[in-house]
Chain A
Amino acid sequence: MEIRKASLICTLICTQLSLAAAAWADDPRAKAISMIKADFSAQGSAGVDRLEQDGLQAVCTRSGNKPPPAIARRLEQDQQAGIRYPADGKFLGDWRSGEKIAQSGSGYTWTDPPGVPAGGNCYNCHRLAPQELSFGSLGPALTGYGKTFGNTTEVQKYVYGKIYNAKASHLCSIMPRFGHVGALNEQQIKDLVALLLDPASPVNQ
């Protein structure tokens, strides 16, 4: 049912997109896409199927990451509908494991050995535990996150959802959809929620 709804919306958007493309056959974007399709080869775990855009990627690319609000809201709802929350209703794992996952930047590149689990890459983009000085700045600093927003079930659920699929609340976010693509599993996401919210976590010291 959800899938049918999603694919219907996708079809609608894709039709609009291909109409737009047909209207301007010289579109450099259309040429870029056919160039990309011709110019890559599978390597390691990275197959050429990765060059295909899903509906969200296409909409964000086409709109320069600023989709019309109405479309953004529809597509965010679709992303939200795909989030699978823990069956046990518990969101908080172990912040120690969470810290390890947040540190790891491995996963999905053609040089990553097959079978090695993907990391969270969180420190690549966010400041988290204050004593870790090697942090990126593509995303906002999350230091003191639990201290600021509290550790209520509501906040836990929001953070779980954010890590599972960042695009459910911000369609063209730079942040990957870790749960949606299967990069992180339920337990890993719970551990990361704990890293952000557990009062004992270094993030909240």
Chain B
Amino acid sequence: MKRTVLFCAAIILAAIALATSSTAGAKDAATAEFEKFRDVLEEDNPAELFEMKGEELWKTKRGPKQVSLEQCDLGLGPGVVRGAYVAMPRYFADVGRVMDAERRIVHCMVSLQGFKPEEIARQPFSNASQTPEQTALVTYVAGQSRNMKFAIPMNQPGMRETYEIGKAVAAYRAGPYDFSCSSCHGDDGKRIRMQELANISSPEGAAKSVQGWPGYRMTGGVMLTLQWRMNDCFRQQRFPAPNYLSDTITALITYLSANAEGSLYKGPGIKR
């Protein structure tokens, strides 16, 4: 009870700080406020609500075929969820390709439950009014790897190549500003305004960059996945929009996750 009250107070204060961040000085204040309340927020993270919703979705018979996802194989055998998130992306023999967590979960929704891919792709990411089912499902699956280490099976077929492709995608400069991922994320200790930029080519930076995803984002109060983060960084890169669950994104996530190899995943997090 006390925790909940404290948590609510923290949410409100953080939200006020963010809402007043229109002037530059206040932006710093917002960051400071956020940092101050991060501990409280993480202790009682709204992401947990999405984990619960995801678990329910996972276990309920749904879709045109009226089955649950309990036979979904996330790489550790049908129905095994524990530890699956920190071992993806991985190679899936049934489809003969490498998939990241969100892509695999959507694959199961389509192949097992009979959902239509184009309907799922209609709203891939959360907005103020709606959280897509797959976002809650990813959050549930990710929560089942809390406090486990990233262990991407790099010796599987296609993994090394996917990694190298992801690395090349991250270096690809194009668009009106000549940006690549590395323009912003290629060095240690850099910032865009006050936002710290993880150096995705280093083990520590990569570990930071996959940590806390999927994450509950204070700005807007929505639950977002790593697929969303990739999408929004391509927006900032002034590129056109990457197609949802495309090979390019899987390759980037493979690159990030493998670089974070061995680091501890603390579960769905909270983001500014």
Identify the A interface with B (CB < 8 A): 28-29, 31-33, 35-36, 38-43, 46-48, 50-53, 56-57, 60-61, 64-65, 103, 105, 108-111, 123-125, 132-138, 167, 174, 176-177, 181, 183
- 27 A-B interface contacts by CB (under 8 A): A31-B161, A31-B168, A32-B165, A32-B166, A32-B168, A33-B168, A38-B247, A40-B241, A40-B248, A43-B240, A46-B239, A50-B176, A50-B239, A52-B174, A60-B178, A64-B171, A105-B193, A108-B175, A108-B238, A110-B240, A124-B193, A133-B25, A134-B194, A167-B178, A174-B179, A176-B177, A183-B177
CB distance from B19 to the nearest CB of A (A): 16
Residue of B nearest to A125 (CB): B192
Top 4 A-B residue pairs of the complex, sorted by shortest distance between their CB atoms: A32-B168, A28-B164, A39-B246, A176-B177
Query: How many Å lie between the Cα of A109 and that of B24 in the bound state?
Result: 21
When the two chains form their complex, are residues A183 and B176 in contact, meaning their CB atoms are under 8 A apart? yes
CB-based contact A57/B173 at 8 Å: yes
Q: Please determine whether A56 and B247 come into contact, CB atoms closer than 8 angstroms.
A: no
Point out the residues of chain B lying under 8 angstroms from A176, CB to CB.
176-179
Q: Which residue of B lies closest to A61 (CB)?
A: B173
Pick the interface stretch among B43-51, B101-109, B183-191, B203-211. B183-191
> B28 contacts A133, CB within 8 Å?
yes
Residues of B participating in the A interface, judged by any CB pair closer than 8 Å:
24-25, 27-28, 161, 164-169, 171-180, 182-184, 187, 189-194, 197, 234-236, 238-243, 246-249, 251
A48:B240 contact, CB within 8 angstroms:
yes
Determine which of A28, A47, A111, A177 lies in contact with B178 in the assembled complex, contact meaning CB atoms within 8 Å.
A177
Q: Most chain-B CB neighbours within 10 Å: which of A111, A174, A183?
A: A174
* Structural contact, A61 and B241, CB atoms closer than 8 A: no
Bound: A55/B161 CA distance, A: 26
Which of B24, B168, B178 meets A29, CB within 8 Å? B168
Given the interface pairs A51-B239, A109-B238, the reply to whether A28 lies near B168 with Cβ below 8 Å is yes
> Do the beta carbons of A42 and B25 come within 8 Å of each other?
no
Known A109-B235, A133-B24, A134-B28; judge A57-B174 contact (CB<8 A).
yes
Determine if B27 and A28 form an interchain contact, defined as CB atoms under 8 angstroms apart. Answer: no
**Shortest distance from the beta carbon of B59 to any chain A beta carbon, whole Å:** 33
Residues of B within 8 A of A29 (CB): 168
Contact B172–A36 (Cβ < 8 Å): yes
Given contacts A57-B174, A61-B173, contact A40 B238 (CB under 8 A): no
- Asked whether, in the complex, the Cβ of B247 is within 8 Å of the Cβ of A39, the reply is yes
Q: Write out the residue numbers on chain B whose beta carbons fall within 8 Å of the beta carbon of A111.
A: 235
Contact B27–A110 (Cβ < 8 Å):
no
User: How far, in whole Å, are A32 and B161 apart by their CA atoms in the complex?
Assistant: 10
Q: Find out whether the CB atom of A60 lies under 8 angstroms from the CB atom of B173.
A: yes
The distance in angstroms between the C-alpha atoms of A101 and B164, with both chains bound, is 39
- Cβ of B180: which chain A residues have Cβ within 8 Å of it? 61
Question: Closest CB of chain B to A8's CB: distance in Å?
Answer: 22
Closest Cβ–Cβ distance, residue A154 to chain B (whole Å): 27
Q: Is B165 in contact with A40, judged by CB distance below 8 angstroms?
A: no
B173, A134: Cβ atoms closer than 8 Å: no
Are the C-beta atoms of A124 and B192 separated by less than 8 Å? Answer: yes
Q: Which residues of A are found within 8 Å of B168, using beta-carbon distances?
A: 28-29, 31-33
* Beyond A32-B251, A35-B251, 5 extra complex contacts between A and B, CB < 8 Å: A28-B161, A41-B243, A53-B172, A57-B178, A65-B182
